[in-house]
Structure 1
Amino acid sequence: MDDTDRGAAARAESRGRRTLRYAVGGVALAALIVAAGAAVLVGTGQGNGGGPSPAHVTDSSPPSPAPPPTAAGSALPAADAAWLQRVSGAADIPERALRAYAMAALTLADEQPGCRLGWNMLAGIGKIESEHGSIDGARLLPSGETTPRIIGVPLDGTDFLATPDTDGGAIDGDAQWDRAVGPMQFIPSTWDVFGRDGNGDGRIEIDQIDDAALSAAALLCDPGLDLTVGEHWIAALDGYNPSASYNNDVADAAEYYAQFG
């Protein structure tokens, strides 16, 4: 192994150790979570997260089928108001976005407890992809929708892997090339597989933060890996965006978010 190879191996090992540190160091979030109109949930939510970067593509290899969408009117988890207020202020995450990340993490904790996905991994992706729905002058409405819509650059091979149109422009408005859309920046073909109803309104909307966060959670947990294992966390994120710099940015911010609970 030459010096370049040794340096790359050392960086990878360091990244794995760092990822594992914050993945297993998350707070017992469920102590602060209530089911809507029901009792306090029991269990622990481990954390993973993200950092600053512009909105771009979030897809890589062909995905496998996602769980069925949440049925309208079904019981949904909700983060405790005091927890939301405290963490939102301390971590500088809009409360509306933070609630979506926490709800998605809790939903996956129930559906796939072995995944051990944390709210701060989703928050990190949201930070990188769209500044929590606020990139380029956009904002999150109380409904969780972004306005104006967040649509990435055409994936024509200039800056990212060329991805010809897969939706006839129905989702991204581009009938020639796919574009990443929404606060979690899904491309249409991936959204078609992983799109979920995160707020129980019976609709699956790529521009709505609850739906987008739950869909991202489903994508990350799809391989069935325990994300508190460093290399598993890295592999799951590579499935979201196969870029070493992206993975490192998410890891940096995830570690930062983990300290707030």
Structure 2
Amino acid sequence: MTPPEPEHDAVPAARSWARGALHRGLVALPLVAGLVTAGWLVADGDQPVPPAPVAAAAVTGPSVLQVSAPVQAQEPGQGASGGGGKTPLEQWADSLSGPLDIPAAALMGYAGGELALRSEDPGCHLSWVTLAGVGEASSDHGRQGANPLGLSSAMWQKYGSKIPGVGKPALTDAASASVAAGRALCASGADLSAGTGWWKSIAAYASKDTELFRQRVLGNAQLYATLSLDPAKASSPAVRATRFALGQLGLPYVWGGNGPDAGAAGFDCSGLTKASYDSAGVALPRTADSQFRATPRVAGEPQLGDLVFYGDPATRIHHVGLYLGNGLMINAPTEGQAIQIHTYHSPGDDYAGAGRPA
């Protein structure tokens, strides 16, 4: 198809990285220079390389990924055996396995990791959703490889012995691996309830592709936390679109791109949001401005799956992302960058509001 009309001038990228989505393979593309305390400095928009240089100070729109931790999730079930001879923890895992698309045995392992670290290191505040995010980013919860939490041999040797309730700990066992992974994440006195501590711990855990790994852990952990509190929404178009968008993390921004299934290496911003909702059976127009005009406005804070827009509603909307929750969005930022997670609204940007496709 003919690419959409350019939607914003971009600031050229300045630093290269190699990243990829687990289910798509690796791609090589630049990341904008400057991993600062607040996050990645980025430009924005559906656009090609600009015909003339544009000063960074003149660019508005989403600008940072602020350090953050996933929101609080549903507590793992505990106590005496319940109906059918199953423990509350087994019942809890069974109830969430389908909505979260995580095998019940893996969920049991993640919950066991949280409960073990509550006793061993209560100041760490490890959540099962963080372990679930690590499990998704490492092996799709054991579906792709025998090392479900992606532990290095050194981490396993250091943290994999004497697992509570496990006679013979094994790296391939989600229960053993979750406790070992939790110990590795909580090392050096980390507090995972705070954004800075969580961010540093996930970066230290990853052995390669640190930024993509960290974003995939954050994005999926945030999704799991939200769904654990309202699992009935798991089959909604908003959740299906969000899952699709998370699966594109690490692919390159391609102006006019509609993704690998349409013959492009990646997406532009509105191509990503359209493809995400196409996957959920909801048709959207092709450009950011037309999507803004076509979706009902959202009063107040956006919710999971809402589209968040940037520009001037009276004249032209130049950028769109998909809201993830907890102040975060998934978007294709600009030429030369990967699809990634950013803070959706920062002081001084030109955030124009949110729309709800379905």
Secondary structure of 2:154's counterpart equals helix
Inter-CA distance 79–199: structure 2 relative to 1 (3 Å threshold): farther
Alignment partner of 1:29 is 2:75: yes
Measure the CA separation in 1 of the matches of 2:225 and 2:152: 28
Q: Which blocks of at least 5 consecutive residues in structure 1 are unaligned?
A: 38-77, 139-149, 151-181
Aligned to 2:211: 244
- Give the direction of change, closer, same or farther, for the CA distance of 1:6–1:235 in structure 2 (3 Å limit): same
Q: Give 3-state SS (helix, strand or coil) of 1:259's partner.
A: helix
Higher normalized contact order (CA 8 Å, seq sep 6+, divided by chain length):
1
Quote the residue 2:340 is aligned against.
none
Q: Contact conserved, 2:72 with 2:225, CA < 8 A, in 1?
A: yes
Residue 88 (str. 1) matches residue 138 (str. 2): no
Q: What is the alpha-carbon root mean square deviation over aligned residues?
A: 2.7
- Decide whether aligned partners of structure 1 residues 110 and 16 sit closer, same or farther in structure 2, where only a CA change above 3 A counts: farther
Q: Which amino acid aligns with 1:221?
A: C
Q: More strand per residue: 1 or 2?
A: 2
Q: Which has the larger helix fraction?
A: 1
Aligned residue in 1 for 2:108 = 99
Which consecutive unaligned segments of at least 5 residues does structure 2 have? Answer: 1-11, 15-31, 42-63, 82-86, 229-358
Distance 1:260 1:80 in 2: 17
Identity of aligned residues (%): 28
Q: 2-side partners of 1:109 and 1:193: how far apart?
A: 19
Task: Give runs of aligned pairs for residues 1-261 of structure 1, distance below 5 A.
Answer: 8-9=35-36, 11-12=39-40, 14-17=64-67, 19-20=68-69, 22=70, 25-27=71-73, 29=75, 32-34=77-79, 80-135=89-144, 150=146, 182-198=147-163, 200-241=165-206, 243-261=210-228
Distance 1:99 1:108, change over 3 A: same
| Offset, 1:111 | 1.5
Amino acid at match of 2:188: P
Alpha-carbon separation, structure 1, partners of 2:117 and 2:143: 25
Q: For 2:224 and 2:104, how far apart are their aligned partners in 1? A: 14
- Residue deviations 1:10-34 (CA, integer Å, cap 9, x gap): 54484335x23x2xx313515x223
TM-score normalised according to structure 1 size: 0.58
Distance 1:110 1:15, change over 3 A: farther
Contact 1:223 1:236 in 2 (8 A): no
Amino acid at match of 1:227: L
Q: TM-score, normalised by structure 2?
A: 0.43
Secondary structure of residue in 2 paired with 1:29: coil
Contact 1:115 1:225 in 2 (8 A): yes
SS at match of 1:33: coil
Paired letter, 1:15: L
Do 2:160 and 2:169's aligned partners in 1 also have CA atoms closer than 8 Å? yes
Kept in 2: contact 1:15–1:248 (CA 8 A): no
Structure 2: how far apart are the matches of 1:127 and 1:103?
17
Runs of 4+ in 1 over 6 A off after TM superposition: 2-7
Report the residue type matching 1:88 in the other structure. S
Q: CA deviation at 1:253?
A: 0.8
User: Is the Cα–Cα contact under 8 Å of residues 196 and 214 in structure 1 kept in the other structure?
Assistant: no
Given that 2:73 and 2:129 are in contact with CA atoms closer than 8 Å, whether structure 1 keeps it comes out as: no
